[in-house]
Amino acid sequence: MARYIIRRLLIAIPVIFLVILATFVLVQSMPGGPFDAVGTRAMPENMVRILERRYGLDKPLYEQFFRYLANILQGDFGPMFREPAQTVSDVIAQTFPVTVQLGLMSTLLAFGIGIPIGIIAALNHNTMVDYIATFLAVVSISIPALVLGPVLIYFFALKLQWFPIAFWGENPPFFLGFIPSFSKAFFAHAALPVFSLGTGAAAGIARLTRAGLLEVLSSDYIRTARAKGLRERAVIVIHALKNSLIPVATILGPLLANLLTGAFITETIFAINGMGRRFVNSIGQREYFLQTGLVLIYGIMLVMGNLMVDVMYAWLDPRIRYD
């Protein structure tokens, strides 16, 4: 297993390189530039040239790329054009914990709701409980966070005033800021965005769990376990559930990445100062280095998520061995 993990990490190096290259070229190919205007007024041409020379934007694109790559290897993600007092590394350090908290809490919500609903639906196959669970899953998948977020704000924040309208709330740093402080104020701010982001994922997990458990329950070894007189609970928990979760584990890595990238919309709707919101703002501001740095972080997280899924395979199914 250790050799496999090392081999996958080595393979990830050219993948990350291609991500950096493609993002760097694409963001700099967009029309306009970071110094085209200040507010509503166009910046003087000579001032634009001075600023481009200062940040090295007057160099050929290939020279800019290799200089940027060398800086990344030293932990420098580049400067901020509109906020000279900060660097891209500073912005990532401020926003990364918030996005990770939102993504992890949404993932926990998705699995915490999706797996039990899928199990209940499978154990009550072709009954009213199964039909209701399937209907709710289809409805949840069909409503994107772009629609669900404003609806939640309107009803639960504006009308009922149960939760704050926006922002992420007070969150004193703990364990590098990745684990939120369990305070009432924090969960009040986190409730709506986490529910908005995690509901669709929960529906998908419920359907996968239901389908996987139904397939496993029809297997020969399940009939053998029942024939031996094992209690139904033992058959489900010990023999069936673990194997039925392999399809769910397959989507864990991509799901976590999708929840983090889906935070682009959720963070913008709820005015959360995370990486997704900063990325959306950076597009209009032509913050080349910020866009490339954030895409690089998301790419690394996706690679690590897929690696985690492969490791989970070996735990869920002893027949799977990578060495």
- Give pLDDT, residue 177: 47
Return the closest-CA partner of residue 152 out of 34, 62, 265, 270: 270
- Give pLDDT, residue 1: 67
**Structural contact between residues 289 and 92, judged by C-beta atoms closer than 8 angstroms:** no
Dist CA 117 CA 149 (whole Å): 23
Residue where the block lists tokens 């409980």? 129
For 93-316, CATH number? 1.10.3720.10
Instruction: Name the 3-class secondary structure at 321.
Output: coil
Residue partners of 190: CB distance under 8 A and separation at least 6: 101, 102, 105, 168, 169, 180
How many residues comprise the chain?
323
List phi, psi (to 5°) of 250.
-60, -35
Q: Which residues pair with 38 in a beta bridge?
A: 41
- Give pLDDT, residue 323: 56
* Dihedral angle over CA of 99, 100, 104, 105, nearest 10: -50
**Structural contact between residues 250 and 97, judged by C-beta atoms closer than 8 angstroms:** no
How far separated are the first and last CA of the chain, in Å rounded? Answer: 6
* Dihedral angle over CA of 134, 108, 106, 191, nearest 10: 100
pLDDT tens for the 323 residues of the chain, in order: 677 778 878 888 888 899 899 999 888 888 777 777 655 567 777 887 888 888 888 888 889 999 999 999 888 898 888 887 889 999 988 888 888 888 888 888 888 898 899 888 888 888 898 899 888 888 888 888 888 888 999 899 888 888 888 777 654 444 344 455 556 666 788 889 989 888 888 888 888 888 888 888 888 888 887 888 778 777 887 778 777 777 777 777 777 776 766 678 888 888 888 888 888 888 888 888 999 998 888 888 888 877 777 777 666 666 666 55
List phi, psi (to 5°) of 223.
-65, -35
- Give pLDDT, residue 21: 92
Q: What is the pTM of this model?
A: 0.79
- Give pLDDT, residue 184: 65
- Write down the domain spans for the chain: 2-73, 93-316
